[in-house]
Amino acid sequence: MNRIRDAINRIDLRKFRFWIQLFFFVLFVYGAYFAIDLGRELPIFSCGYNRETGGTCYFLALQHQLARPWDRLFSTASIGVLTGFLTFLAWFIIFNKAWCGYACPLGTLQDWITSFRKMLKIPYGTYSQSQYKALKKIKYIFLFIVIVFPLLLGIGLLDGEWRGAFCKMCPGRLITPLFTGDVSQWTIDFSTNTAIFLTTFGLGFTVLFFVGSFIKKRFFCFFCPMSAMHYIFSDWALLKLRKDGEKCTKCGDCYNVCDMQIKDIADDVTSKNILRDDCIFCMKCVAACPEEDALHVDILNMKVFTSTKGGFTKRMGMDKPNKDENDEK
């Protein structure tokens, strides 16, 4: 048992993530080819506009369901809305935000763009703390659009052209179908002014997605309303990211590798639950922590992956003398 645990803690997280992400990317982008359908309640941006998807983003269904007239929304006819939500919760609770870091096709794509940038040896960009604090609020505005706009539609305060407003703005609608050869979404809908605005926004956001994630690691995730939605329910999740502040030296190694620039991961030594709203649960921080058990991933109260000196030094290539001579290509 100890040996297994030790092997897990020494895992090469980069490789582990790469293969899992590839698996989920194929599953969610090409799932239909294998006759896989995991439903319409997935807590990731696996877009339903892609006809070959192996399971659909919950926001597509949610916006659709919430847009019904209020008298019907609050009647027994809407039990489906409730079960849909519960299914979403059930999916989410298993993996917590690890859906973002491991399963979301858009997230994976951004990591691949990062790898491409690395191949070109171009440094990544970062936000200053003030920019960061301003930008991180945007995802809550999007979440507001996802949930409140359909409700307003239901009572007739908004016109039908606002139906599925967020989807029209979301880069996922344009990007995921691309992988199955469908470019039909790359258009501007000139039918009404609202449609022009929404689809132009979507197109612009998509361009920004590619440019942004080339410069900034996980650029889009700062704005993702699904990430905001996750955070609301993350306390109930089974998978936890925990920190033992006593053991933390605040060295900032975790902060240094964090794609989302979450400062609390290094500086907060009092909270036990260190998951923050921007977190994508990639576990890079745990892998980069040199202190024994300072950061760990728990299922219920069992540590499944924890920071160890041995794991750290192995991953950084510091556990053996002259390690470079063998692995330098």
Partner 1 sequence: MRTMRNRRKIETQMERQNRHKAMESVAVLDKLKNDFSKPLEAMNYFYDLFERVYCKRESLHDRSVKVGTLCIQVPYEIIYALDAVPVRLCNGFHTDDEIGSDFAPSKACPLVKATVGQFSSGNFVDRPDLVVSPTTCDQKSKAGAIIESMGYPIYDMEFPRTKESEESREYWRRSVRKFTKDLSKELGVKLTRSKLKKTIRRIGYAQYLYHRLNTLRKSDNPPILGVDMFLVTNAFFFDRLESWIEAVERLVEECAAKTEEESATYQNSPRIVYTGSPPIFPNLKIPLLIEQSDGLIVADETCSSNRMFNDMISVDEWFLYDMVDSISDKYLKGCTCPIFTKNSDRIRRIINLVKEYHAEGVVYQAFAGCQVYEMEQRSVLSAMEKEGIPILYLESDYSPSHLGQLTTRIEAFIESLKNRRRKKACAISQE
Residues of this chain that bind partner 1 (CB under 8 A): 118, 121, 123-124, 128-129, 245-254, 256-257, 263, 266-267, 269, 284, 288-290, 309, 312-313, 316-321, 323-324, 328
**Whole-number Å distance between alpha carbons of 281 and 299:** 13
The first and second tokens of residue 258, run together, are: 């964090």
**Min. distance of Cβ 156 from partner 1 in angstroms?**
47
Phi then psi for residue 131, to 5 deg, are: -60, -45
**Min. distance of Cβ 12 from partner 1 in angstroms?**
14
8 Å CB contact between 80 and 187: no
Q: Which is nearer to partner 1, 194 or 313 (CB)?
A: 313
DSSP per residue, 202-238: HHHHHHHHHHHHHHSTTTGGGG-HHHHHHHHHGGG-S
According to DSSP, the residues that pair with 296 across neighbouring strands are 242, 306
How many other CB atoms are found less than 10 A from the CB of residue 80?
Answer: 10
Task: Give the DSSP H/E element, type plus range, for residue 303.
Answer: strand 302-306
Q: Which is nearer to partner 1, 176 or 308 (CB)?
A: 308
Q: Which is nearer to partner 1, 133 or 137 (CB)?
A: 133
**Min. distance of Cβ 251 from partner 1 in angstroms?**
3
**Min. distance of Cβ 303 from partner 1 in angstroms?**
17
Q: Which is nearer to partner 1, 295 or 297 (CB)?
A: 295
Nearest to 242 by CA among 200, 193, 191, 276: 276
**Min. distance of Cβ 256 from partner 1 in angstroms?**
6
Q: Which is nearer to partner 1, 28 or 305 (CB)?
A: 305
